[in-house]
């Protein structure tokens, strides 16, 4: 067993204001994504995506992610509690964010942004997709520092006793997710982006690969206490990730057929 490294979730506090590691991880994730997005824009010489347009795009994404992640958690993971305590919905500092909700928020914001600025949604989404994994990895490090979203009980040599998980050795599932969602996922998408030519296929690859990775890693992660297992041995995260995989496959088929039809007309 490895001792859990007790790290204060708060980096610095000045009166009632506090800078937390989890918030910093969100900031680092967006900065990393922004730089990777700009790198691709410059490499592909996309003149329509000026610095001002990209900055506006990321402002929309930040707002949509926070709103979507929070509302997703409320709807998918703890609806009954927030129906009884609606004001707690705004207490984001108390935790409770859903990746799947954040993803839906980003998709909606992306569609609206591209309509407003007359941009190709699939092109923008394909550019964005490979920049997301580092942000996911930073987020999982934030979860680990907070001692939250820990794993199921285990006797593996690297198991840890988490402060909020009782006196039971557990999988450090946040670190599994950091490595798989943050590093391996990034490598896979970054390689694919130069090989996939059809519009929308990077988005499909993102949905399928993340869905498979998340579904698998959920077997090591402790289910949310207020939900537990929601369908036999499966968690809410696995159900939502399964939906992602199906959506990714459907998108890949649709984009392939669409491109084939367009090629046939030429």
DSSP assigned state of 178? I
Q: How many residues can be counted in the chain?
A: 266
Contacts of 88 (CB under 8 A, 6+ apart): 81, 82, 94
> DSSP string covering 149-169, please?
S-B-B--STT-EE-TTS-S-E
User: pLDDT tens digit string along 149-205?
Assistant: 999 999 999 999 999 999 999 999 999 999 999 999 999 999 999 999 899 999 999
Backbone angles phi, psi at 234, to 5 degrees: -105, 150
| In the chain, domain spans | 10-265
Number of helices (H), then strands (E), in the chain: 10, 4
pTM, 2 dp: 0.92
User: pLDDT tens digit string along 216-253?
Assistant: 999 999 999 889 999 999 999 999 999 999 999 999 99
Backbone angles phi, psi at 12, to 5 degrees: -150, 145
- Which residues is 95 bridged to in the sheet? none
Hey, what are 256's tokens?
A: 């392939």
Mean pLDDT computed over 33-51:
96
């Amino acid at each position: 067993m490895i001792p859990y490294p007790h790290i204060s979730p708060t980096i610095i506090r000045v009166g009632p204001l506090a800078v937390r590691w989890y918030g910093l991880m969100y900031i680092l994730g967006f900065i990393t994504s922004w730089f990777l997005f700009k790198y691709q824009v410059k490499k592909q010489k996309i003149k329509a995506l000026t610095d001002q347009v990209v900055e506006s795009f990321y402002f929309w994404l930040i707002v949509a992610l926070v709103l979507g992640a929070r509302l997703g958690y409320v709807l998918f993971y703890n609806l009954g509690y927030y129906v009884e305590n609606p004001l707690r919905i705004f207490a984001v500092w108390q935790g409770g964010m859903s990746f799947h909700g954040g993803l839906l928020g980003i998709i909606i914001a992306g569609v609206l942004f591209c309509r407003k600025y007359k941009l190709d949604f699939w092109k923008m989404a394909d550019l964005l997709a490979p920049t997301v994994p580092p942000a996911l990895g930073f987020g999982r490090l934030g979860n680990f520092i907070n001692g939250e979203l820990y794993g199921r009980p285990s006797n593996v040599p690297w198991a840890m006793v988490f402060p909020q998980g009782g006196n039971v050795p557990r999988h450090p599932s946040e670190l599994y997710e950091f490595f798989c969602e943050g590093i391996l996922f990034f490598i896979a998408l970054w390689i694919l982006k130069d090989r996939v030519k059809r519009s929308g296929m990077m988005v499909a690859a993102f949905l399928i690969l993340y869905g498979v990775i998340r579904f698998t890693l959920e077997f090591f992660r402790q289910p949310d206490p207020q939900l537990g297992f929601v369908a036999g041995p499966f968690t809410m995260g696995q159900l939502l990730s399964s939906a992602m995989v199906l959506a990714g496959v459907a998108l890949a088929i649709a984009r392939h057929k669409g491109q084939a039809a367009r090629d046939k007309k030429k």
